[in-house]
Amino acid sequence: MLSPFFKLLRSVWDYKSYTLLGILFHILTAILTVISIPLVIPFFQILFGISPSNYSAPESLWDLENVLNYGFSRLIAMSDHFVALWVVCIAVIIIFFLKNFCRFLISYFMVYVRNGLLRDLRKKIWNGYERLSLTQRYEKRQGYLMSLITNDLSEVDHGILKVFELLFKTPLVILGSLLFMIWLSPKLTLIAFALIIFTLIVIGGVSHVLKRASAEAQESLSGMTILVDQYLSATKMIRTHHADGFFSKRFDEENNRYFKISNKILRRRDLASPLAEFLGVATIVVLLFYGTHAVFNDEMEPTTFFAFIFAFYNIIDPAKSFSREYANVQKGMAALDRINSFHQELAEDELIFKGAQLATFERAVELDSVSFSYGSKESILENLSLTLAKGEKVGIVGDSGVGKTTVVDLLLGFFAPQQGRITVDDVSITDMDEESYRRLFGLVTQRPQLFFGSIAENIVMDLPLDPSKLNKICSLVGLTHSALENRVGDHSSQVSGGESQRISLARALYRDPEILILDEPTSQLDLKSAQLMIDQITGLALDKTVVMITHQVALLKKMDRIIFMKDGKIMDEGQYQPLYERNDSFRSLVAAELTKN
């Protein structure tokens, strides 16, 4: 318990004042609970009509039984039974008012800690999403990532802050009640303590597997989230190929797995409370037997025995609460461990950008003897060297799978090469600041990524809105001013492929980048629209360095240099006409493209 507790304390360190106040009132609540125990004695003294002559003054204050009996009997002697009852009732009201007021203050302060911790964890997870490299993004399942901010945070919310009650309130109530019981009857307390230890061992055994089972349940929920996301994102493809049954089967398998794990968790959790109650009742029966025997033998006063039983009840009830809440705490700790593990993995990932130098682009970007592979797969690029001079228009062409997009991903710093280095004006990008480096680039992908919102929001995003600049760029790429407030829809459902490509181009140009990267920018357009887009790109990118992956002959002809790739290497390069005349493979590629068009 202590190791996760210290982890939790580090998590709530920003709320230490509220946390310490919450702990303080947990302690005060426990103290007031213990103080309320002896208050049952005067009720029984009044009920049994005990007179002051029954008790003599105690010889020692440590003789708690005689102290209590003598004090309450003197209270009755100085007044009558009715006045004494009033005094006792007022004392009970005051004690329980203070106890419950402290409980309110616990909630008052710990709610701030609880919600603050959840807010910080949400932000922590979101920042983790932002830091994910493409390698990590490909390695992590999307459902797992979504589960962190939904299911795992829910488990933290339900259970994690119960740790403070289990560590500061419950143990003090149990300890105080035990001390009171020891003062009343050490022999009877020893019997009770042995029975309590046995109960806790049994309950601990029941709860032992909850943390591991909870982690398995969260993994299963992640799997279902993945399937739902895939199903909703690819509805057209699934319906076209009648693949609903395939996804339904996989969902049923994961759903049944979660069903079995949940049954295991809930059965063990629900067993803990009735088992604790049964063992508690059994313990009380044993104590009643021995206590009654002690009363019959004049070893203990009846009022003292009733107070002892009441004190023991104040142990049983927190113990039941402990067994119930311990299960939730275990699940919450498992969720917190998953969140912390996610960030630990991010911290261990090798960063591409390790410096603070601002990126400037005056001469050239260079890939120097770069090799790269995805994980354990064979190399995608082998010893590739490429120089992009400022203001140069470079086209990259080749069959599918030769590494064209990988070159772009390395240029953008999404991946780190296994060998070689990437430099800007002879400065390695590892010595640069990531934000300033990425600011050099504008990107238009083959499949434009748009988010739910208006066209204008998709173009401007986090930059300041400049209406005149926005209107000018939209006019150049063929977007009308009246359409800017139109909604894109979920997964670009409200715009055509051509509109998506224009929005993506407008987004890149609005950032006024020095290097414009275009990955098949006309792939979603018909021939007429593609020709218009070619003319627009040519006109808009006059002062830009352009890196373009394309098979469009019209675009290739406008490039200053064409890089022809094959098997992860640069096989040839040059201007369009000389390259076409001397390279049979390039000529065949161009012929195939012309035939297709």
Taking only the tens place, the pLDDT of each residue in 121-175 is 888 888 777 777 666 666 666 667 777 777 788 777 777 667 777 777 777 777 7
385 band by pLDDT with thresholds 50, 70 and 90: very high
Can you point out the beta strands (E) in 13-80? Answer: none
pLDDT reported for residue 564: 92
pLDDT reported for residue 561: 93
pTM for the model: 0.63
Residue ranges of the chain assigned to CATH 1.20.1560.10: 2-112+139-348
pLDDT reported for residue 141: 62
Fold of 2-112+139-348: ABC transporter transmembrane region fold (1.20.1560)
pLDDT reported for residue 29: 86
- Which amino acid, one-letter code, is at 296? F
Under 8 Å between Cβ of 550 and 556: yes
The Cα 233–Cα 301 span in angstroms is: 75
Of 505 and 563, more confident: 563
- Average pLDDT of span 234-246: 62
pLDDT reported for residue 58: 59
The Cα 322–Cα 30 span in angstroms is: 14
> How many CB atoms sit inside 10 A of residue 46's CB?
19
- Average pLDDT of span 38-46: 64
- Average pLDDT of span 166-186: 77
Q: Which of 200, 179, 190 is nearest to 37 (CA)?
A: 179
- Which amino acid, one-letter code, is at 332? G
- pLDDT exceeding 70 applies to what percent of the chain? 73
Give bridge partners of residue 367 from the DSSP assignment: 386, 422
366 band by pLDDT with thresholds 50, 70 and 90: very high
Under 8 Å between Cβ of 440 and 361: yes
pLDDT reported for residue 308: 78
pLDDT reported for residue 313: 74
Under 8 Å between Cβ of 267 and 206: no
> Which run of H or of E encompasses 369?
strand 364-372
If you ran DSSP here, which 8-state letter would residue 383 be given?
A: E
pLDDT reported for residue 63: 56
The Cα 17–Cα 370 span in angstroms is: 53
**Is the confidence at residue 272, as pLDDT, over 80?**
no
pLDDT reported for residue 439: 86
Taking only the tens place, the pLDDT of each residue in 285-332 is 777 787 787 778 877 777 677 777 777 777 777 766 666 677 677 777
101 band by pLDDT with thresholds 50, 70 and 90: very high
- Average pLDDT of span 483-489: 78
Residue ranges of the chain assigned to CATH 3.40.50.300: 364-440+513-596
- Average pLDDT of span 548-553: 85
pLDDT reported for residue 34: 79
pLDDT reported for residue 562: 93
The Cα 531–Cα 277 span in angstroms is: 79
The alpha carbon of 280 is separated from its chain's Cα centroid by a whole number of angstroms, namely 38
pLDDT reported for residue 364: 92
**Is the confidence at residue 77, as pLDDT, over 70?**
no
What average pLDDT is seen over the chain?
A: 77
**Is the confidence at residue 233, as pLDDT, over 90?**
no
Taking only the tens place, the pLDDT of each residue in 4-26 is 556 666 777 778 888 888 888 88
pLDDT reported for residue 49: 57
348 band by pLDDT with thresholds 50, 70 and 90: low
Of 421 and 321, more confident: 421
SS3 393: strand
The Cα 109–Cα 181 span in angstroms is: 33
Specify which of 57-66, 109-118, 180-189 reaches the highest per-range mean pLDDT: 109-118
Taking only the tens place, the pLDDT of each residue in 464-482 is 888 888 888 888 777 877 7
Q: Which of 45-59, 153-167, 256-270, 424-438 has the lowest mean pLDDT?
A: 45-59
Q: Which residues contact 75 (CB under 8 A, 6 or more apart)?
A: 42, 84, 87, 88
Under 8 Å between Cβ of 566 and 585: yes
Of 536 and 236, more confident: 536
Q: If one looks up domain 364-440+513-596 in CATH, what number appears? A: 3.40.50.300
**Is the confidence at residue 185, as pLDDT, over 60?**
yes
Task: Tell me how many degrees the CA angle 485-488-490 measures, rounded to the nearest 5.
Answer: 145
